[in-house]
Amino acid sequence: MTFSFKFLSGAVLACLLGAPAQAQGLRLPPTAGAASTVTGTATSDFIVAVVNSAPITNAEVQREVLRVQQQYAAQRRSPPELQRLTAETLERLINQKVLLQFAFDTGIKAEDTAVDLATQSIAAQNQLTLAQLYQQVAADGLSAGQFRAQLRDQILLQRLRERDLEPRVRVTDLDIDAYLQAQQNTQDLSKLDINLAQVLIAVPESATGEQVQALQEKARKVLERARAGDDFATLVRDFSDPTAQANGGQLGLRSADRYPDSFVEATRQLAPGEVANLVRSLAGFHILKVVEKVNVGLPAMSVTQSHTRHILLRPSAQLSEAQARARLLDFKKQLQAGQADFAALAREHSQDGSAAQGGDLGWASPGMFVPEFESVMNQLAPGEVSEPLLSRFGLHLVQLLERRQAKLSQAEQRESVRALLREKKLAEAMQTWTQEMRGRAYVELRDAPL
């Protein structure tokens, strides 16, 4: 099992530790004993490098190699060749050791209370009690002390970034303007991803001119209905050629250069939800609707918002966590049986400020709720009620009411670009700074890791 606790963004963490960019946040590595699975045989431990006066052992390298391999496997990607991966891992650990030593030497600390809070957050995000978390850590071969030491290192690195790097990075309005202009002017179709849905009115190769004209007229009528707001999936079902009816006619989000040129040209100026003019191909007449359009170089210009309500119970001396969970499960059972109303239960029992509104939290954009709450919410279908979930605030019973796509305002779009550029600049600054720090350190390479 892998646990995550986000301190650093993926891009910056990649520069700090040299880790693959997809490895976002702190992830609990596998066991030292499990490192033998990397090479196929158990290996003795020994020192592979010394950074100033601090050693890096073979076991440390093997644990990190296995962690990265598991991340690649989870994403169904092939890891680099083992020898290369091991060398990159050692380099990563050296860089980390250099930065941690600098942080310590210049007065940065990670108090036990900060580690405690981080541990509690990881447990909540993974819907575990602290006892269950440490049991899983032990099952993965890591002692509680090793686990807390890794958390402490991540806190130190985060505080180092906040103190020494973030104040240096500035993104100006001119930077944002230049970036937006460059992205809007690009002619590279590989940077544009689109998802189109189609109704295909097939034209047989042997069709006469009169038959083609009749089919074209049929296609025009379907086009009119699509533009009038008729449900597109229904039009696909009723009129599209059977070979083009899968997935409600949707062709899937893909790079624009993987679509026929005629499809791209017909939809180039259209926004999501709009329907193009008829497109004629050898297959027949196509009614095309833009489902989604994403400029790969730009942040999303719209977000998925969720409308939820919840019931919150806070464990206390009078109400244990187990009792709170049992009470919420009983509420869910009543709701499923149609014996209770969610809003009424929330008004009567919820210990959150939203109780007076029947637990209604209104419309929320991504990032507005704590990760453990948002993660569960995102998995719900409209109308569905969750299992009791644990957050830093207590135990929740969550119901998703509905979802919608909300377009970002111009100011929100610019702030998204600002955040994107800031992370990019931070990653570049961290890479340069790490190289400088490495150049000042004493690094001795000993026996190569096995």
Same domain, 9 and 58: yes
Whether 175 is in a domain gets the answer: no
CATH of the domain at 32: 1.10.4030.10
Same domain, 263 and 309: no
Cα–Cα distances (Å) from 39 to 34, 290, 313, in that order, read 10, 50, 49
**For position 346, what pLDDT does the model report?**
97
Whether 176 is in a domain gets the answer: no
Beta bridge partners of 395: 313, 390
Beta strands of 105-226 (E only): which ranges?
Answer: 192-202
Of the candidates 346, 315, 255, the one whose C-alpha atom is nearest the C-alpha of residue 129 is 315
Rounded Cα–Cα distance for residues 122 and 117 (Å)? 9
> How many distinct structural domains can be found in the chain?
3
Same domain, 160 and 197: no
Same domain, 213 and 323: no
Angle, CA of 244, 210 and 199, to the nearest 5°: 15
pLDDT digit of tens for each residue in the chain (450 aa)?
Answer: 545 444 444 444 444 444 333 322 333 333 333 333 343 434 568 999 999 989 999 999 998 898 888 888 877 788 889 999 999 999 999 999 999 999 999 999 999 988 988 888 788 777 788 888 999 888 877 789 989 998 999 999 999 999 999 999 999 999 999 888 877 665 555 567 889 999 999 999 899 999 999 999 999 999 999 999 998 989 999 999 988 888 889 998 888 888 898 998 899 888 888 999 999 999 999 999 999 887 766 666 678 899 999 999 998 999 998 899 999 999 999 999 999 999 999 999 999 999 999 999 999 988 889 888 998 898 899 999 999 998 888 999 999 999 988 877 888 888 888 988 998 899 899 889 999 999 999 999 998 888
Rounded to the nearest 5°, which phi and psi values hold at 317? -65, -30
Same domain, 230 and 311: no
- Rounded-to-10 torsion of CA 20, 193, 412, 271: -170
Q: Is 408 left (phi over 0), alpha (psi -120 to 50) or beta?
A: beta
Q: What is the pTM of this model?
A: 0.58
Task: Using the 3D structure, point to which of 251, 267, 295 is the last residue of a domain.
Answer: 295
Whether 228 is in a domain gets the answer: yes
The amino acid at residue 152 is R
DSSP letters, 404-418, are: EEEEPPHHHHHHHHH
Residue 183 neighbours by CB under 8 Å, 6+ apart: 191, 295, 297, 298
Cα 264 vs. chain centroid, distance in angstroms?
Answer: 29
Rounded Cα–Cα distance for residues 240 and 248 (Å)? 10
**For position 366, what pLDDT does the model report?**
86
Cα–Cα distances (Å) from 53 to 23, 72, 207, in that order, read 29, 33, 83
Print the domain residue range for 335.
302-407
**For position 367, what pLDDT does the model report?**
83
Residue 161 neighbours by CB under 8 Å, 6+ apart: 8, 12, 16, 426, 430
Same domain, 195 and 328: no
Same domain, 284 and 380: no
**For position 300, what pLDDT does the model report?**
66
**For position 253, what pLDDT does the model report?**
87
Rounded to the nearest 5°, which phi and psi values hold at 105? -65, -25
- Rounded-to-10 torsion of CA 8, 11, 13, 18: 180
DSSP letters, 100-121, are: HHHHHHTT----HHHHHHHHHH
Rounded Cα–Cα distance for residues 28 and 376 (Å)? 21
The amino acid at residue 387 is E
Same domain, 154 and 233: no
CATH of the domain at 196: 3.10.50.40
Same domain, 324 and 195: no
Same domain, 361 and 234: no
Task: Using the 3D structure, point to which of 237, 269, 295 is the last residue of a domain.
Answer: 295
Same domain, 49 and 24: yes
Q: Is the dihedral of CA 3, 22, 149, 125 positive or negative?
A: negative
Provide the 8-state DSSP code for 385. Answer: B
Question: What is the chain's Cα-based Rg?
Answer: 28
Type and span of the H or E element at 149: helix 144-164
**For position 40, what pLDDT does the model report?**
40
Task: Describe the crossing of helices 130-139 and 144-164 by its angle, rounded to 10 degrees.
Answer: 100
Whether 422 is in a domain gets the answer: no
- Residue 9 in tokens: 């963004």
Same domain, 284 and 332: no
Residue pair 9/23 in contact (Cβ under 8 Å)? The answer is no
Rounded Cα–Cα distance for residues 5 and 274 (Å)? 40
